[in-house]
A and B are shown apart, each in its own frame.
Chain A
């Protein structure tokens, strides 16, 4: 609190001093930052991105980002965009974070100021100046509703946005993959990305985009699907056929399919399920047992199209068995019971050696074969060599398409409306004649069915199933994917899964600190986006509705409310 007040007082002082001259201050500072980004930063070579040479001679490293941020500062200062102050604060703070981070890292490594060249000093001074300038900038207008433009132009915007998203994803995955010491560049990039996202949000780009997406649903979905299909080609091209990220993408896709299933249970019907991964596990175990694995306890072998159906049905039956006695519980009591069932599933899998081979699990599950198509072979399509994980990735896209179909058809049906009614007020729903037990059971069974199908594919993808893949933490990660992405929305579940699976992989470069950062990332993402990345319109309305005056003052600006909290009208 004292820190916040001190910052508030400081910013008031800055505002008073620089009032009126903020624009030249930002202009000069951004120019310094820009020039600094073009000059050498360090006096020695060997640091990632060759910060010793000038910008255009070789790899610019993190200076790419400060340069772009400097241009951003100039644009924000000299055009009259809505929300420019907030955006400017984000951009200049991002530039400061990148340059200061590099400065401190090198200082820590080398000790002494001799390691630095003029560029980094200019960049530091420039970003601090720009930050002060933006602090002093008057608040200006907020972004309003976007204008309606002719349909083809709007569609063009949607398509371009999807392309940009794909490009950002590919770049994010690729950045720092080849550097000797990659963490500094990855940190630099993430700081840059956060700053840019915050700025785009402040000037209303994201708000406008989500309006456009909503207006052109079909186009958005087709463009999204095409982007998803293009992804393995692009990343293979960029990384010379390196299979790593395609493998990760295949896991993301499996995970996303399960997350959409969980979304039906949690997002639609409002049943908090903390043991959802058990259904996924049932599907995987059934598929492994029926799938001709090398180290297994069964000798049955069925073709995959039967296996996936059997696995999904088995999971659904398991869901009904769990649901029937427990679904009259409400709220958090249901949550703990599902958690209990999840743990029971894991413990039984771990100890019932005759069926599950105990902690070793069932391994040597062969690659999928459908007809004569072997999923274990890589293919060359359109001149791009795709690692064999891409086969799984594509079949999972099909699975996801199916899941989305189920989700959207159900969501707008009588059943979907019954679920929403139960979620909002179970007693009222029951009074209106909704058969709550049957509907809840149906949600549970469908969620389990979808998870079972995803689990069946996962058994083949991972080539083994073992109890430690189905821990409480996995359930929690699935739930986090749903909440983080945005409850009750399909793109949200997919985005959430992608972030939650790819982020730890990307953080691998921090080795031991990986999970630490993951925890922090979860906290921060919820702090700044509690409704999720993609919040459904419905949720948004509810959230904004909830006491806009006091609620927002408390949550959004703890610093501002301090000291004048007791003022009453």
Chain B
């Protein structure tokens, strides 16, 4: 039982990162029906943005101090958001009315480009780079389960952000505009919503969450590399679809489900096939609920 709880909490920690990235996927999908394959790369770029601040901008004497962490987060968020806005403006926006699959290929091109740009032009990024340990990895026991402090931090931050996002989308004027655009962009425009601006804001919010997730990844695993975006991207996309793509609560639910399934399967089934279980669960869920756990609308545009 203790072991089960342990794995369950490990799964929740992994799931929190997945969920944060999945939110970006699902929001962008919800609003322009684009599978933004470059989103995993935005997450990676964010992590490197945070690392760059630590390495090159902060004075060495204080760079390691815990109170610098908010600055690192800020740098990561800024990097992710700026890159995402540039990508949206120059790669996706010109293709808004192109056939459905064209932006998908563009997204893949962007993904390759960002990965390679970091690998080649971030100093020494060809192999993994260590990430500063701002938050201790020391275990604390909670009800028979040992969790590192950093893991608790990750879960709490992720949940706070999700509540914040939920409130923003439900309550704010911009959130309302976002929902309107996702339901019917043409009508939204007629009602005076600047849809182009809303799309940019959506990209930016998704990117900010991905940037936070990037730093969290660094804090948890102690290192980041140019290739982390790819796997995380695929997993997060899986999570988004699992929950019902386009649905924000669904993305969170999907992220946590995927994380927990992975952790439990690694423990009880076979660790070599860890990723296989994640996909099998996805397939099983979709066979019985063809539009994901919480999805209602079925995407038919092709």
> Which of A341, A423, A512, A526 gathers most chain B CB within 10 Å?
A526
Q: How many residues of A contact B (CB 8 A)?
A: 56
Q: Does A405 contact B (CB under 8 A)?
A: no
Contacts known (A347-B276, A516-B116); A336 close to B238, Cβ less than 8 A: yes
Docked-complex contact A531 and B302, CB < 8 angstroms: no
**How does the 8 Å CB contact mask read for B85-105 relative to A, with 1 for contact and 0 for none?**
000000100111111011111
* In the complex, chain A residues whose CB is within 8 Å of the CB of B290: 328-330, 333
Point out the residues of chain B lying under 8 angstroms from A521, CB to CB: 109
Looking at A288-296, A369-377, A383-391, A480-488, the stretch in contact with chain B turns out to be A480-488
- Would B234 and A332 count as touching, CB distance under 8 A? no
Query: Is A272 in contact with chain B by the CB < 8 A criterion?
Result: yes
Say yes or no for A112: interface residue by CB 8 A criterion: no
**In-complex Cβ contact of B97 among A266, A336, A513, A555 (8 A):** A555
Task: Report if A64 contacts B (CB, 8 A).
Answer: no
| B-contacting 9-mer, from A141-149, A251-259, A436-444, A543-551 | A543-551
Q: Are B116 and A515 in contact (CB under 8 A)?
A: yes
Q: Which of chain B's residues 244-294 have a Cβ closer than 8 Å to chain A?
A: 245, 272-273, 275-276, 279-280, 282-283, 286-287, 290-292
Among A331, A472, A483, A558, contact of B301 (Cβ-Cβ < 8 Å):
A331
Cβ-defined contact, B283 with A337, below 8 A: yes
Chain B, Cβ-Cβ closest to A551: B97
Q: Provide the residues of chain A in CB contact with B272, threshold 8 Å.
A: 351
Contact string against A for B residues 37-77, beta-carbon threshold 8 Å, 1 for contact and 0 otherwise: 00000000000000000000000000000000000000000
B300 beta carbon closer than 8 Å to chain A = yes
Assess whether A523 is in contact with B106, with CB atoms less than 8 Å apart. yes
Contact present for B283 and A340 (CB under 8 Å): yes
Cβ-defined contact, B299 with A331, below 8 A: yes
B120 interface residue per 8 A CB criterion? yes
A190 within 8 A of B: no
- In whole Å, how far is A500's beta carbon from the nearest beta carbon of chain B? 10
Contact between B299 and A483 (Cβ–Cβ < 8 Å)? no
Contacts of B109 in A (CB 8 A): 518-523, 526
In the complex, the chain A residue whose C-beta lies closest to that of B97 is A551
A341 to B104 Cα, complex, angstroms: 20
**Contact for A522 among B112, B114, B120, B283, CB less than 8 A:** B112
Residues of A221-251 whose CB lies within 8 A of B: none
Query: Would B299 and A333 count as touching, CB distance under 8 A?
Result: yes
**In the complex the two chains form, is A341's CB within 8 Å of B283's CB?**
yes
Q: Quick one: given A340-B282, A341-B283, A515-B116, are A483 and B110 in contact (CB under 8 Å)?
A: no
Nearest opposing residue in chain A for B110, CB measure: A523
A480→B106 CA distance, assembly (Å): 9
Within 8 A of B (CB), among A500-539: 512-513, 515-516, 518-523, 526-527, 530-531, 539
Residue of A nearest to B196 (CB): A554
> Quick check: is A154 within 8 A (CB to CB) of the other chain?
no
A209: B residues at CB distance < 8 A? none
A193–chain B nearest beta-carbon distance, Å? 19
Contact of B291 among A270, A333, A348, A531 (CB under 8 A): A333
A343 an interface residue at 8 Å Cβ cutoff? yes
Contact A270–B106 (Cβ < 8 Å):
no
Given the complex, which residues of A lie within 8 Å of B287, measured CB to CB? 325-326
A344 touches B97 (CB 8 A): no
Tell whether A137 is near chain B: CB-to-CB under 8 Å: no
- Most chain B CB within 10 A, of A333, A347, A476, A527, is at A333
What residues of chain A lie closer than 8 Å to B117, measured between beta carbons?
516
**B141 to chain A: closest CB distance in Å?**
35
* Chain B residue contacts of A425, Cβ below 8 A: 300
Q: Does A479 contact B (CB under 8 A)?
A: yes
Taking A272-B302, A331-B302, A530-B95 as contacts, is the C-beta distance between A348 and B276 under 8 angstroms? yes
Interface size for B (C-beta < 8 A) is: 49
Chain A interface, DSSP helix/strand/loop, else mixed: helix
Report the Cα distance A288→B112, complex, angstroms: 31
Alpha-carbon distance A348/B277, docked complex (angstroms): 11
- B112 pairs with A336, CB closer than 8 A: no
CA A266 to CA B101, docked complex, whole Å: 10
Q: A483 touches which one: B105, B237, B279 (CB < 8 A)?
A: B105
Q: Please, which residues of chain A bring their CB within 8 A of the CB of B101?
A: 266, 272, 479, 483, 487
Instruction: With both chains docked as a complex, state the minimum distance between the C-beta of A105 and any C-beta of chain B, in angstroms.
Output: 19
Q: How far, in whole Å, are A272 and B100 apart by their CA atoms in the complex?
A: 11
- In the complex, the answer to whether A341 meets B279 with C-beta atoms within 8 Å is yes
CA distance A426 to B299 in the complex (A): 11
- Which residues of B are found within 8 Å of A270, using beta-carbon distances? 302
Distance in Å from the Cβ of A363 to the closest Cβ of chain B?
22
The interface residues of chain B lying within 8 Å CB-to-CB of A554 are: 96-97
The verdict on A332 contacting B120 (CB below 8 Å), with A272-B101, A526-B95 known, is no
B154 lies within 8 A of chain A by Cβ: no
Query: In the complex, which residues of chain A have a beta carbon less than 8 angstroms from the beta carbon of B286?
Result: 326, 329, 333, 336-337
Interchain CB contact under 8 A, B120 and A547: no
Give which listed residue, B105, B234, B275, contacts A347 with CB less than 8 A: B275
* Cβ–Cβ contact A472 & B234, under 8 A: yes
The CA of A347 and the CA of B231, in the complex, are separated in Å by: 13
Residues of the A chain whose Cβ atoms lie less than 8 Å from the Cβ of B35: 332, 335
Please report the C-alpha to C-alpha distance between residue A328 and residue B98 in the assembled complex, in whole angstroms.
Answer: 26
- Min CB distance, B101 to chain A, in Å? 5
Does the CB pair B279–A527 fall under 8 Å? no
List residues of chain B with CB within 8 A of the CB of A344.
Answer: 276, 279-280
Question: Which A301-336 residues have C-beta < 8 A from chain B?
Answer: 325-326, 328-333, 335-336
In the complex, A270 Cα to B101 Cα: how many Å?
10
CA distance A519 to B108 in the complex (A): 8
Taking a contact as CB atoms under 8 Å apart, the answer to whether B279 and A331 are in contact is no
Closest partner residue, chain B, to A535 (CB atom): B99
B153 within 8 A of A: no
Return chain B residues, CB-CB under 8 Å to A427. Answer: 300
User: Can you list 7 A-B contacts with CB-CB less than 8 angstroms, sorted by A residue number?
Assistant: A329-B290, A333-B292, A348-B273, A427-B300, A519-B111, A522-B105, A523-B109
Q: Could you list 12 further interchain pairs (A-B, Cβ under 8 angstroms) beyond the known A331-B301, A487-B99?
A: A330-B290, A330-B298, A344-B279, A423-B302, A476-B108, A483-B102, A518-B109, A519-B115, A522-B106, A526-B109, A531-B98, A543-B98
Chain B residues packing against A (C-beta within 8 Å): 29, 35, 91, 94-99, 101-106, 108-117, 120, 234, 237-238, 241, 245, 272-273, 275-276, 279-280, 282-283, 286-287, 290-292, 298-302
